[in-house]
Structures are given as C-alpha cells and as structure tokens.
C-alpha cells in the first residue's frame, strides 16, 4: 500500500483498497497478525512534533468534529475526552488520507491533553452504530510510538471487513483517555513561564517548585496588606533579593506544616491536597493550558469556600513537570 504522502496514493479510493484486501486475505478469512505485531513504519514529516498550524487546518478540512475536543481532568493520573462524534467529510477518501488524518487527530489530542509523544500512554475507544448496542472496541494504554494513525486505520479496516454494518466513512464515536503524572520538580529560573502567553516565571532554583509556587502565591495575596508584606512579596519575586533563598525557606515551612518530607524535590497534586488541608483559609486553584488552547483552565481546586486565594499553574516541558505562581487574570484564565 502506498504511503499517504506519496502523490500517487490520492488516486486510489477506499473501495479499491478494500477490494485488494479481500483478494489478498480471502475476504478476511486469512489469519491476521495481532496489533502488537503490526510494524509501525509511518512516514510522518512531523513525527517528533505535535501539530503545525497547517496540519491542524488540514485535519479540519477532512474530518468533522461534533464539538472541539476538550479534555476533562479525572484524577492525578488521567484526563479524558468525553464521548465525541466524528465523521469524514468525504465518502471518497483514500486510505492514505484517512491514515494521515487519524494520525493528526491523535497528535492533536495528545497535545491538548498536555501529553508527550514518546512517553504518554493513551487508551482509545471506538464505537459505531454497526456494533451491538453499547459495544465497541478499546486499544488500551499505548504510546504514540505504538499507536499512530496507520495502526488505528489498519485496526478499523479489520473490523469493517468482519462486520458488514461498520463503515469508517460513517459517523463514529470515540472515547480517549490520556495518562499523565501531574508531578513537578522545578528547574532554574527562566524569564517566562509561558512564552506564548508572555506570562513571567516566579519560581527560582531547582526542586520543590510546588511549595515554592504556593509560597509566592501567598506572598502576592497579602502584598497589599502592609508595607512589611509588600517587602516580603518583593523578596520572594525579584532576583536582586536572592529570591531563591526566600522561596526555599517558605517552601520548607509549608512542607513542615503539611508533614511532608523536606528531602523530596518533586511533589504532585496528592501532596497539594495535604497542603490544602492544613491551610483551610486558602482556596487553591491549579491551572494548566493545553498547547492548542488560548486560556488556562482549572484542573483542580481545594477549599472552595475559603476567603483567601492561591493560584498556581502546571506545565510539562521536555518531559519535566513544573509548577509556578500565576496571577489571577480574566484575560488568560477561565474556569471550566
């Protein structure tokens, strides 16, 4: 079969390819290799990237979403794409075009979920009216390296050969779970936490970025109460005061109060829950921005009725999680 980026491939329709498959396999009676044995030799010009703007536009030219994919935070390890209806806009798509579009959609979703193309695992559920009611199939906990657009297309082709009522040119429903670890260890101080949104970085030094960001957020909240508190905020947020030292001191106080280890450098949302329990007067809001979204969205909240506010943000870059303080702002944040 020609690859999707071969210019000759566009002349071959899905019906022609299915006819070839039936001739080669005996209409599906030939034993087919399991998914684990399918060679993933997928020629993808951006295989190490998420998506370019051109690819996003190209994908949306060929596939119709019921609504824009929006992932929902489930727990500390998983985000999920609720039931979403998809269909190809044309009935004469070539298999290569469908492979490419599926691959773009998978990378698009991994990016929106804050995942990683090398390490992040996902589970993909496919449902179609040709199946028995509420039945579909799942491909569980695979990385993009083992489950890309070509693999998905080949698996759907197998199903369509064995079930007359299933046609992947029709509308189908998908579920997708992406597994992430929302832990952060921090890194050296950078100028910007979010270059695209031009949001400054506050946390300095390596390690303990979660309690450091909480300390900075608390200092900011109280900075207008008195000159003393304003000076504390200045010392926590400005390099000229050696703010890494002040942040580390505040972080250790927070960890001690929550009875968390002072030796650990990496903390996650479970640790934040313990911190929130010993600071009931503060409402804690954790934000994250999927790479294709314009706004930061709340992924976790604690102490909803508290009168004081701590706002922090989470991101993962080069496989390393990082927390930092983010100022409350309607221009870049929204509740979900």
Assign residue 260 the CATH number of its domain. 3.90.70
Residue 260 sits in the same domain as residue 163: no
Q: Looking at residues 56-75, what average pLDDT do you find?
A: 77
Phi, psi of 273 (to 5 degrees): -60, -40
Residue 23 sits in the same domain as residue 142: yes
Task: Report pLDDT digits (tens) over 79-138.
Answer: 777 777 878 887 667 888 888 888 888 888 887 777 777 778 888 887 776 665 556 677
Whether residue 90 lies inside any domain: the answer is yes
Domain range for residue 221? 183-334
Whether residue 2 lies inside any domain: the answer is no
Residue 195 sits in the same domain as residue 173: no
Integer angstrom CA distances of residue 88 from 63, 68, 155, 160, 217: 4, 15, 17, 15, 46
Check residues 44 and 136 and name the one with the higher pLDDT: 136
Residue 187 sits in the same domain as residue 157: no
Residue 187 sits in the same domain as residue 169: no
End position of a domain, from candidates 179, 205, 222: 179
Highest mean pLDDT among 20-34, 164-178, 230-244, 245-259: 245-259
Whether residue 1 lies inside any domain: the answer is no
Check residues 198 and 296 and name the one with the higher pLDDT: 296
End position of a domain, from candidates 179, 201, 218: 179
Task: Calculate the average pLDDT of the chain.
Answer: 74
End position of a domain, from candidates 179, 210, 230: 179
Residue 105 sits in the same domain as residue 190: no
Check residues 278 and 241 and name the one with the higher pLDDT: 278
Highest mean pLDDT among 73-77, 271-275, 332-336: 271-275
Output the pLDDT for position 158. Answer: 78
pTM assigned to the model: 0.50
Residue 168 sits in the same domain as residue 244: no
Three-state SS across the chain?
A: CCCCCCHHHHHCCHHHHHHHHHHHHCCCCCCCCCHHHCCCCCCCCCCCCCCCHHHHHHHHHHEEECCCCCCEEEECCEEEEEEEEEEECCCCCCHHHHHHHHHHHHHHHHHHCCCCCCCCEEEEEEECCCCCCCCEEEEEEEECCCCCHHHHHHHHHHHHHHCCCCCCCCCEEEEEEEECCCEECECCCCCEEECCCCEECCCCCECCHHHHHHHHHHHHHCCCCCHHHHHHHHHHHCHHHCHHHHHHHHHHHHHHHCCCCCCCCCEEHHHHHHHHHHCCCEEEEEEECCCCCCCEEEEEEECCCCCEEEEEEEEEECCEEEEEECCCCCCCEECC
Residue 198 sits in the same domain as residue 236: yes
Residue 138 sits in the same domain as residue 201: no
Output the pLDDT for position 25. Answer: 37
Residue 121 sits in the same domain as residue 239: no
Whether residue 109 lies inside any domain: the answer is yes
Task: Report pLDDT digits (tens) over 311-329.
Answer: 999 887 766 788 999 988 7
Q: How crowded is residue 155: how many other Cβ atoms within 10 Å of its Cβ? A: 18
Q: Do 314 and 299 form a contact (C-beta atoms < 8 A)?
A: yes
State percent of the chain over pLDDT 70.
70
Residue 171 sits in the same domain as residue 221: no
């Amino acid at each position: 079969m020609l690859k999707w980026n071969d210019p000759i491939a566009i002349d071959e329709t899905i019906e022609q390819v299915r006819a070839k498959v039936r001739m080669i396999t005996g209409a599906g009676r030939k034993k087919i290799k399991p998914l684990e044995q399918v060679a993933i030799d997928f020629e993808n010009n951006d295989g190490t990237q998420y998506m370019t703007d051109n690819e996003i536009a190209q994908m949306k030219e060929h596939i119709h979403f019921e609504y824009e994919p929006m992932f929902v935070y489930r727990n500390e390890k998983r985000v999920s794409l609720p039931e979403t209806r998809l269909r190809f806009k044309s009935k004469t798509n070539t298999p290569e075009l469908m492979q490419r579009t599926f691959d773009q959609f998978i990378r698009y979703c991994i990016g929106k979920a804050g995942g990683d193309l090398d390490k992040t695992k996902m589970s993909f559920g496919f449902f179609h009216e040709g199946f028995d009611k509420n039945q579909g199939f799942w491909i569980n906990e695979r990385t993009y390296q083992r489950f890309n657009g070509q693999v998905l297309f080949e698996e759907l082709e197998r199903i369509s050969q064995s079930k007359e009522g299933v046609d992947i040119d029709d509308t189908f429903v998908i579920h997708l779970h992406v597994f992430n670890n929302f832990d952060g260890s921090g890194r050296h101080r950078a100028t910007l936490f979010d270059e695209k949104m031009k949001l400054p970085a506050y946390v300095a030094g390596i390690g303990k970025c979660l309690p450091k960001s909480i300390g900075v957020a608390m200092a900011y909240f109280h900075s207008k109460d008195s000159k003393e508190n304003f000076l504390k905020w200045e010392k926590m947020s400005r390099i000229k005061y050696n703010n890494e030292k002040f942040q580390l001191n505040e972080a250790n106080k927070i960890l001690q109060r929550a009875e968390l280890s002072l030796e650990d450098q990496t903390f996650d949302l479970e640790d934040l829950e313990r911190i929130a329990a010993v600071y009931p007067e503060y409402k804690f809001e954790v934000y994250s921005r999927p790479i294709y979204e314009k706004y930061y969205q709340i992924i976790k909240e604690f102490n909803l009725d508290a009168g004081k506010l701590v706002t922090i943000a989470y991101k993962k870059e080069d496989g390393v999680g990082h927390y930092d303080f983010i100022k409350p702002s309607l221009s870049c944040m929204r509740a979900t």
